[in-house]
Amino acid sequence: GSFARNQSFVTANSMVAIGAQLVFTPIITRQYDPEAYGTMNAVLSLSALVMPFFTLQYDRALLMARDERDIQGLRAISNILPAVFSVLLFLALLIGGDRLLTTVGLPALGSLALLVPGLVILGAVTQTSQQMVAVRMRYKQSFIFGSISSVGTKLTAIGYGLLFGGGAIILIAVEVFLRGSH
């Protein structure tokens, strides 16, 4: 039935993403130094930490909405709230700077912390888009596009590392590209 078919697309998409991780991560880790990975993971972890607070997880309510007006309203809230909170975080990081980062125990991030609000916005849009896939029953299209994005971002990181060497900003840029492509 359609439920099994849709679930097979979701599962296959996850398997492609995991497979890309298993195949390409050993290659990528040889091109980028541990400091680059540490910095990238600190930026991504910080964005993941604030994400549930900034989104208030309104995107999950999309599956319960009955009519189109409710769906569009929830979709708007799911994208606007994190944008507003991210702007406030960006301003706090600009004003507080190194003092703020030292207070929260992340002084090594420096100016890369300014990327966190953008990652939160992209992550929120991605979450909302994934919920909209379920609302609109677009599982096959999501599988095709998600699989291409997962593999493409890994190949981009490998290509850049081979041509120019590694750095945290490139790993973060690849993550931004992956989130932005959804």
d(CA 170, CA 43): 13
pLDDT at 152: 83
Q: Is the dihedral of CA 46, 50, 51, 52 positive or negative?
A: positive
| CB contact at 8 A, 62 and 135 | yes
> Token pair for residue 117?
């609000």
Residue 12 contacts residue 146 (beta carbons within 8 Å): no
What is residue 47's predicted lDDT score, i.e. its pLDDT? Answer: 92
Q: How far apart are CA 138 and CA 102, in angstroms?
A: 44
Q: How many CB atoms lie within 10 A of CB 114?
A: 15
The pLDDT profile of the chain, 182 residues, written as one tens digit per residue, is 688 888 888 899 889 989 998 998 888 888 888 888 888 888 888 999 999 999 999 988 888 888 889 999 999 999 999 999 999 999 999 999 888 888 888 787 888 889 999 999 998 998 888 888 888 877 788 888 788 888 888 888 888 888 877 777 778 887 777 776 65
Residues 109, 131: Cα–Cα separation, whole Å: 32
Per-residue model confidence (pLDDT) at position 181: 67
pLDDT recorded at residue 52:
93
Contacts of 143 (CB under 8 A, 6+ apart): 9, 10, 12, 13, 16
- Report how far residue 11's alpha carbon sits from residue 27's, in angstroms, rounded to the nearest whole number: 25
Nearest to 174 by CA among 63, 31, 78: 31
Q: Is 33 helix (H, G, I), strand (E, B) or coil?
A: coil
* Cα–Cα distance, 56 to 86 (Å, whole number): 13
Residue in 137, 154, 171 with CA at minimum distance from that of residue 9: 137
